[in-house]
Chains A and B, each alone.
Chain A
Amino acid sequence: GAVVSQHPSWVICKSGTSVKIECRSLDFQATTMFWYRQFPKQSLMLMATSNEGSKATYEQGVEKDKFLINHASLTLSTLTVTSAHPEDSSFYICSASLAGVRYEQYFGPGTRLTVT
């Protein structure tokens, strides 16, 4: 299957600072990328869906100004957590797909964010 990378795999930041997480599709052009959040021993919660060149569509309850998503190219999407707080500490996972429901999502390995 296709490969999706995430960077960094683990990041620690201080409260009040911003942190950027990158998601790259390495061997295919991803027209759609998804960002998920996963708390320990819980399921994945979809945060937002982004299509290349368009603004991201955020799920209800997700703060757009806090979780900035940019999908500027067909191989790269970024999630920026602005003014991070300890409650933002979580595991963030991205996935990439071609446009259309029938296409498979390929998941990145995830990024563990710890806010101190």
Chain B
Amino acid sequence: AQTVTQSQPEMSVQEAETVTLSCTYDTSESDYYLFWYKQPPSRQMILVIRQEAYKQQNATENRFSVNFQKAAKSFSLKISDSQLGDAAMYFCAYRSASDMRFGAGTRLTVKP
């Protein structure tokens, strides 16, 4: 089975600063997708950004961007100009035709 590892249980960032959340994964499949989800205290899962494995270009969504290193099986999330509303649990996720896995999560705190 594929594994997804988030090595940072907690991260903290000053408002307006930039923070990077790490994620690595292990797979032998060639066709898969990677995601970052945000889970605020309401516990509603919100898609932040997604990356198709076959695309070399890193995905970006406004203040959110990823650094996808396929050979290294790394998929980090960069949040620029952090806002108080970014405070939440962030989960890295892997999806293929045969599997759906989430990392353990990183709790992000944003300091005013």
Residues of chain A whose beta carbon lies under 8 Å from any beta carbon of chain B: 1, 34, 38, 42-46, 49, 91, 93, 95, 101-102, 104-105, 107, 109-110
Interface of B is mostly: strand
* A110 proximity list for chain B (CB < 8 A): 43-44
A-B contacts, CB under 8 A, total: 42
Residues of A within 8 A of B46 (CB): 107
Query: Chain A: which residue is nearest B33 at the CB level?
Result: A101
Q: Are B45 and A107 in contact (CB under 8 A)?
A: yes
Smallest CB separation, B111 vs chain A (Å): 21
Asked, given contacts A42-B104, A43-B103, A44-B91, whether A101 binds B32 with beta carbons under 8 Å apart, the answer is: yes
Q: Which of B43, B50, B103 contacts A104 (CB 8 A)?
A: B50
Sample of 15 A–B contacts (CB below 8 Å)? A1-B47, A34-B100, A42-B104, A43-B105, A44-B102, A46-B100, A49-B100, A95-B45, A101-B31, A101-B32, A101-B95, A101-B97, A102-B33, A107-B46, A110-B44
